[in-house]
Chain A
Amino acid sequence: MPGKTRKVILGPGVCDGCGRCVEACLKAGAKKQGKGNRTIAGIKLLKSDTGFVPVICRNCEDAPCATACMSGSRHRNGKGRVVTDYTRCIGCWMCIMNCPFGAIERVEGEHIALKCEGCPDKEVPACVAACERGILGHSDIQDLSSAVRKKAAARFLTGEREDMPAK
């Protein structure tokens, strides 16, 4: 669904940190548009006491990174995707200070605040395609709220509670 607005979402289950998503992201080379030529993945895996946590841009509806961007380099495009013009990013880190997921990386030498740009030219984002455990998924934004509600309902019916928000 190229051109459609979608976001990468995290499904239930535990990520085992295999790293295929990171590899696929690097191979997709989507992050070469920075000022330098270093390729940096837009997804990272952090180890926690219960497994691994994939950290990636969720394309928030009320994107605090775009709101906070001083230069205007991070903005929502016509298709509803929060994207970045890295030639105009100056590395003030205002977006990092406002991203509630920690999904933006400070690229020190190049003074750019890097995040996943959503593989706009691909049918399925590279990381999602590479995830064998189905932790990473993607959804059209319009479909997402109903999907979330259905999932919450299913959870309620089956009594599953493990990925409910912490109280």
Chain B
Amino acid sequence: MKYVIVGNSYAGVGAVEGIRELDREGDITMISDEPYLAYARPLISYNLGGHVASKNMYYRSAGFYKKNNVRLILGKRVMNINSARRQISLEDGTLFEYDRLLLSTGGQPFIPPIKGLGARNIFSFTKWDDAKKIKRIAPGKKKAVVIGGGLIGLKAAEGLNDLGLGVTIVELGPRILAVALDEVSGAIVNRQLRDNGIKLIAGHTAKEILSDGKGKVCGIILDNNKKLECEILIVAIGVRPNIGLIRSTSIRANRGILVDRCMMTSIKNIYAAGDVAEAHDVLNSRDSVIAIVPLAYEQGRVAGYNMAGGRRAYTGGIGMNSVEVYNLPVMTMGITNQTSEAHEVKAFRKGNVYRKLVFEGNRLVGAVLVGRVDYGGVLTRFIRSRADITPIKRELTEDVLRKGEFASVLSKIANTLNGALVA
């Protein structure tokens, strides 16, 4: 059996491990347009800020590819898929045949048309090379602006701030991490950023980028005509599934590549996983692209297992994220901004500690934890399993949230169930 995996990040690595659960012999070829062994992509901001050494950036040990007998082709772009002949071709014309193909090409930054984008020292922030380029030109620079206050923008701002630059984030939405955080947690995080030197301008965006006589960026003009100076500009408006490769095929896609529960696309023998795939979303009647590490790995693992002839279903994901913002831990899972009358909220806040649960009938559908995040996984499990938690809901009162009993109630529940929701 010949396997070809396009992409060498979390989903691709998951697929290798899934394939090797069943097939020790098959021929695996992995192709990536990046020049690195699989690395911890979300850690590029830590690498930029000097908190993680380059040698510690790798997601798997150096022996991973050899141990799993993977032929790794780095720094080469796949240009075309010929599904009738079961071949893919690289930019240099090299052809590879496959019996099973996985598309785990991830996402690519979305850069909106802004006047002046051609200036130098403007970067996106999704690849290790982005961080390396920024680090190279950062010495001596004093001010940076980040357009976009999502997770990528936030992380880029932290990295730049750690390098000693004054950083301003410009976010069109009402707060930082506007989708994941609610108003209360957003305010806590905003203050945490401000206290640590990162400025946030919410409710605005850039309408023009300014450059100096040498073509280097020197500032931006906001939609309210206010001017901000900067020598480095990061554009982190958003990331889109990297689906350019399927144009020559009949593979169906919306925002991302459509897959069934086995992670197979509309063409037999071609699978997709990770940030490029539009997969089962347990909180949504429609499939969606949820671009986060745990789901990328899970989807890749399921895809690999099925590519090797197994039969395993992807159980579906939820949007969730955990970040630490200058020693303040923040977790968001599922629906964090209640949208309908059917959503019932229980919440508690004191200082930097915030706990919020969002219920829909007898099910937990979302949670926010700030300041104290222990036992967050118990909540995640309730949300992902879609379990009826009537008796638990009764115990999780606002009084319990207020007192320190939150942890022991959750733990008691987890251990009473003794893995019933786990296995």
Residues of A at under 8 Å CB distance from B?
10, 46-50, 53-55, 58, 60-61, 64-65, 67-68, 70-72, 87-88, 90-102, 104-106, 108, 111, 163, 165-167
18 examples of A-B residue contacts, CB within 8 angstroms: A46-B408, A49-B412, A54-B415, A92-B323, A94-B322, A97-B373, A99-B378, A100-B378, A100-B414, A100-B419, A101-B411, A101-B415, A102-B375, A102-B378, A102-B407, A104-B377, A108-B327, A166-B417
Q: CB-CB contacts of B38-58 with A at 8 A, as 1s and 0s?
A: 001111001000011000101
Task: Identify B331's interface contact among A88, A93, A111, CB under 8 A.
Answer: A93
Using A68-B294, A72-B40, A106-B373 as known contacts, say yes or no to A90 and B329 having CB atoms under 8 A apart: no
A99, B384: Cα distance in complex, Å: 12
Number of residue pairs A-B, CB distance < 8 angstroms: 134
A58 touches B59 (CB 8 A): no
User: For residue B381, which residues in chain A have a CB less than 8 angstroms away from its CB?
Assistant: 100
User: For residue B417, which residues in chain A have a CB less than 8 angstroms away from its CB?
Assistant: 165-166
Residue on B nearest A66 in the bound complex, by CB: B297
Q: Is B422 an interface residue (CB 8 A)?
A: yes
Residues of B at under 8 Å CB distance from A?
40-43, 46, 51-52, 56, 58-60, 293-294, 297-298, 301, 320-324, 327, 329, 331, 333, 373-378, 380-381, 391-392, 407-423
A49, B403: Cα distance in complex, Å: 14
CB distance from A19 to the nearest CB of B (A): 15
CB distance from A87 to the nearest CB of B (A): 7
A132, B333: Cα distance in complex, Å: 39
B43 touches A98 (CB 8 A): no
Main secondary structure, interface of A, reads loop
Using A64-B294, A72-B59, A96-B377 as known contacts, say yes or no to A55 and B411 having CB atoms under 8 A apart: yes
B56 touches A10 (CB 8 A): no
A102 touches B377 (CB 8 A): yes
Task: Identify B420's interface contact among A90, A99, A165, CB under 8 A.
Answer: A165
Using A55-B411, A99-B377 as known contacts, say yes or no to A94 and B416 having CB atoms under 8 A apart: no
